[in-house]
Each structure stands twice: as C-alpha cells, then as structure tokens.
Amino acid sequence: MSPVHRTPQRTAPGDRALDPVTFALDRSSPVPLYYQLARHLEAAIQRGALVPGDLLGNEVDLSVRLGLSRPTVRQAIQSLVDKGLLVRRRGVGTQVVHSQVRRPLELSSLYDDLESAGQGPTTRVLRNERIAAPADVAAALGLPEGAEVVVLERLRSTHGRPVAFLRNHLPASLLEPGTVRLESTGLYRLLRAAGIVLHSARQSIGARAASAEEGALLQEPEGAALLTMRRTAYDDAGRPVEHGSHVYRASRYAFDFQLLVRS
C-alpha cells in the first residue's frame, strides 16, 4: 500500500486553503490506479473534505504531486468530470464543482440522510404559518377542506449550495414547529421528539422543468430539470401526519432504488 499525500494548496483569491488529503493507492492491486484515484477523490468530495471551488491543479501538477503518470491522472479526472464532480478551467486547473446527493428511497428525512452522508445540511425557513387546507392537502391528510393546517416552506442546502425546496403540510393540532428549531434540525426529528412514531408513507417521484421562482431559489436557470417528490407519511396508528411536496436539483440530487426479483 503506497500512501500519496496531497500538500495544501490555496485556491483562487477569496477561497479557503485546502487541508491535506491522504490517498492510499495500492500499486500491487489489480484495480487500475486511475480508478483508485478517482474513488478517493470522489469520496473526499462526498464527505466535504473537498468542496465546491477547491482547486486540484492541472494534470502535470497533479501527476508530480501524486507520483503518478499524467495519463493515469487524466483518466481519473475525466471520469469525475463526466460525473459532474470536477470541471477543467482554462488557466486555472481542475476545480471541484459539487457532489451529487444520492438518497435511498425509503421513509427517511432528507436532513438525516444528508447529515449521515457528511453533507453538512443547513436549512432556511421561508414560510411557517397556519392556513386553510387546500383540497389536495386536506384529502391527503384526511381532513375537511378548509381545515386549519401548518404549512412549512424550507430551502435545504449542503456546503452552502441549495439542494431542495421543501413544502410540507401538517395537521394544526399535531405540532407547533418553531422556525428556530426547524433551521437547526429536520422535521422528522421534531415529529419523533414529540412522540410521533412514523410507520409508513405513500410516495410518488417525477420530474419537470423549473419555474423562474424555483430556479432563483435553487440557483438553476428557468427550465432546468428538477426531480419532484410527493409524500404522505403515516404514524403507527395509520393516521396521516405529514404531506410533503418537494423539488430537487437534478444536477445535485438522485434517488437510489433497490429492486428485488420475486420468484
């Protein structure tokens, strides 16, 4: 096992200095060195050791610093460019763009998933108020149309860049989610803290183009591809306790499915 050390390098003016990152490349392994390097770089991006804006230098610099051939470094970099994690900039070098959030398709909180993946989630609450339930929300929550519900609108970000715009409706009698608490943790954590046991959910996933307002919030151009998710969650007594309608940046977000074959 041959450790390769990346020495600290300062990025463009105004950006932070990079911390040292150590890559352990096994030169005796049948796994190609370019693939090992690509995996180490991708892992560093996913856990936030390398963040958007960080510079890795050009291929010549990288090959010298990492003790690898230039074709090996070029192939590793190209694989991450193809994934949208790195970009080559003329006169600047190779730069981290972003890491795509990959989320398992299960009953879990986006906040919890991002935190467990080391993505450092932050939340900005845009709306937290009581309203009369629209017909579709009332039907999802099993309430009369016009019944009072709490509507929450939040912008969820990682590493300072938006990932998702979240809109949730809750029965007004269920919970009083304070804005300060919502900006420090996830909604499902607040539900669990209130003694609500989430048991199951009905969920649908789709895609559409971003509106001008959504594009502005998510830092995407109008018409950019968005993933959509609608979910109604139920407690252990079978009561609907939350209805969500969320949009995600397709450039930074993906759902992971595990499919089982039935015999």
Residue range 42-92, pLDDT digits in tens: 888 777 788 777 888 778 888 888 888 989 988 888 888 777 678 777 777
- Supply the pLDDT for residue 238: 87
The strand pair at 101-104 and 253-256 is best described as: parallel
Q: Which of 250, 251, 232, 227 is nearest to 242 (CA)?
A: 232
- The 10s digit of each residue's pLDDT in 197-255 is 888 888 888 999 999 999 999 999 999 989 898 989 998 888 899 999 999 888 766 65
58, HSE (Cβ side, Cα atoms, 13 Å): 6
Beta-carbon count within 10 A of 197 CB: 11
* Domains in the chain: ranges and CATH: 2-96 (1.10.10.10), 101-256 (3.40.1410.10)
Least confident of 7-11, 21-25, 237-241: 7-11
Alpha-carbon gap, residue 94 to 52, rounded angstroms? 11
C-alpha dist (Å) from residue 7 to 18, 95, 243, 253: 8, 16, 48, 31
C-alpha dist (Å) from residue 262 to 123, 168, 202, 259: 40, 35, 21, 10
What band does 188 get if pLDDT is binned at 50, 70 and 90? Answer: confident
Q: Are 226 and 255 within 8 A, CB to CB?
A: no
Coil, strand or helix: which one is 236? coil
For the chain, the straight-line distance linking the first and the last C-alpha, in angstroms and rounded, comes to 44
- The 10s digit of each residue's pLDDT in 131-159 is 999 999 999 999 999 999 999 999 988 87
Q: Which of 154, 100, 168 is nearest to 122 (CA)?
A: 154
C-alpha dist (Å) from residue 98 to 66, 86, 151, 210, 249: 22, 7, 30, 20, 12
Helical axes 59-66 vs 70-82, angle rounded to 10°: 120
What band does 96 get if pLDDT is binned at 50, 70 and 90? Answer: confident
165, HSE (Cβ side, Cα atoms, 13 Å): 17
Stated pTM of the model = 0.58
For range 181-194, the mean pLDDT: 88
